[in-house]
Amino acid sequence: MILVLLGFLGLAVDVGYMEFTKRRIQTAADAAAIGGATQLRVDAATTNVPSAAQYDSQLNGFTHGTNGVTVIIHTPPSTGPYASDTGAVEAIVKRNEPTYFMQLFNQNSVTIAARAVARSGAGLIAPT
């Protein structure tokens, strides 16, 4: 019985840490989308948007190409209601996160991802 309880405790620790990481990744995705939309508002050329968005993600601790992090920027967004809106920026932040107790069940890592879309227009930049 103790082993079963320890297994559930380990699972709770892993899931709790994943939720914590998910919140951090969502914050980075929100910042990246808003940063990209701000850049789009300043300069209508979309060539600078990915670097501006990735910089804002980096400020939140998720640097593209480092520690298994991928930051993907789309202008306009690839899916959703703003897919054809050239004033919108989509940011997708992904990270492979190692597990601790779930390794006992052959689950060595989990991909945690977050998506955010921000739209620039009429003096307003807002995440959607």
Q: What is the DSSP string of 79-124?
A: SSTTTT-TTEEEEEEEEEEE-SGGGGGT--EEEEEEEEEEEEETTE
Which residues of the chain have a pLDDT value below 70?
A: 122-128
What's the pLDDT at 124?
Answer: 52
What's the pLDDT at 10?
Answer: 80
23: left (phi over 0), alpha (psi -120 to 50) or beta: alpha
* Contact call for residues 74 and 87 (beta carbons, < 8 A): no
Give the global pTM.
Answer: 0.85
What's the pLDDT at 88?
Answer: 92
Q: How far apart are CA 2 and CA 22, in angstroms?
A: 30
